[in-house]
Structure 1
Amino acid sequence: MSDYAFLARQLEALLDTRDALTNMAQTCAFIMQEISELNWAGFYLQRQPETLILGPFQGKPACNPIPFSQGVCGAAARSRQTQRVDDVHAVPDHITCDAASRSELVVPIVVQDRVWGVLDLDSPLKSRFSAEDQAGIETLVTVFATQSDLANWS
């Protein structure tokens, strides 16, 4: 179990620039280092209408692009709500980038009432993410968004 309050303080100290690209890279590396049992952590960004484009990540090569109409990342972007999936293979429109992934947690990032992107975490373990993990990762996303100049990044 992770101490998310402590991790949030660490991430805030790590993100010592307002540059979103640097902060995305640092956030992914930090999450992969500090959160156990993950096989992928990364950002997908809305740089085209209703489409997520791959951003900085840690893990195996990823699928790109992802339409809002497909998959767990698309559902998070479309609904603007965190998606916590215990078994991705049970999701009919799941986009399989790494067949080893079993569970997924995707947190949308909304800036000025627009979906800026999502943070996507994958695990090779079924039911890896608890409600506590969801709340903790949502806090880390808030730290990232607060520390980064997202409104002026394109």
Structure 2
Amino acid sequence: MAENLVVGTGSKENQYQSLLPQIEALTYGERDLIANLANLAAALKSQFNFFWVGWYLVKEDELVLGPFQGPIACTRIKRGNGVCGTAWEKEVPIIVPDVDQFPGHIACSTASKSEIVLPLWKEGEIIGVLDIDSDQLNHFDGVDQHYLQELLALLS
């Protein structure tokens, strides 16, 4: 079944509020994680035109590239390495206003300037992370973190 995304306008908060019920409808009843991750990456990229939106999934002792939208990306990230590996290790969301200032940042693309990474939890364990990059400095804030965590809760 084809799905249509209605791209919201207005403030960042209004755009997230418009997107949330659409994501809920899109994922409702779909049990396949990869399908849901792919659609969520596409919806976030379409709504906000982020530079890169994607998932890294936990496979044994590293994060492995999952569904994404944007330029090619790093394939594997060790626990504790870069922003994604650090968010996984510390089990917390991380907002990086300037990736050049983050110790150990993994530069998959030099066009990336700021980043937000949030752990994806399932049954009490982190099964992956949502990674979003912007080509602008200071792009992400608490509004993004709040609503992205709400979106992630739809997948749990």
**Which residue in 2 is equivalent to 1:32?**
45
- Matching of residue 23 in structure 1 with residue 36 in structure 2: yes
Count, aligned residues: 143
TM-score when normalising by structure 1: 0.88
Match of 2:56 in 1: 44
Identity level (%) = 37
CA deviation after TM superposition for structure 1 residue 93, in Å: 0.1
* Cα drift, residue 68 of structure 1: 1.1
Residue 8 of structure 1: aligned partner: 20
Structure 2 residue ranges without an equivalent (≥5): 1-10
Higher relative contact order (CA 8 A, sep 6+): 1
2:91 paired residue among 77, 80, 92:
80
After TM superposition, give the deviation of residue 12 of structure 1 in Å.
0.6
- State how far apart, in whole Å, the 1-side matches of 2:20 and 2:87 are: 22
Residue 131 of structure 2: aligned partner: 120
Q: Which residue of 2 aligns with 1:152?
A: none
Residue 121 of structure 2 aligns to a residue whose secondary structure is strand
Query: Do 2:80 and 2:87's aligned partners in 1 also have CA atoms closer than 8 Å?
Result: no
RMSD value, Cα: 1.1
User: Is residue 2:69 matched to residue 1:58?
Assistant: yes
Could you tell me which amino acid in structure 2 is paired with residue 141 of structure 1?
L
> In structure 1, how many angstroms separate the alpha carbons of the residues matched to 2:66 and 2:129?
10
Stretches of 4+ aligned residues off by more than 6 angstroms: none
Q: Distance in 2 between matches of 1:137 and 1:115?
A: 16
- Structure 1 residues 61-112: Cα deviation after superposition (integer angstroms, max 9, x where no partner): 1002101121000111001100000000111200000100000000101222
Aligned match of 1:129 = 140
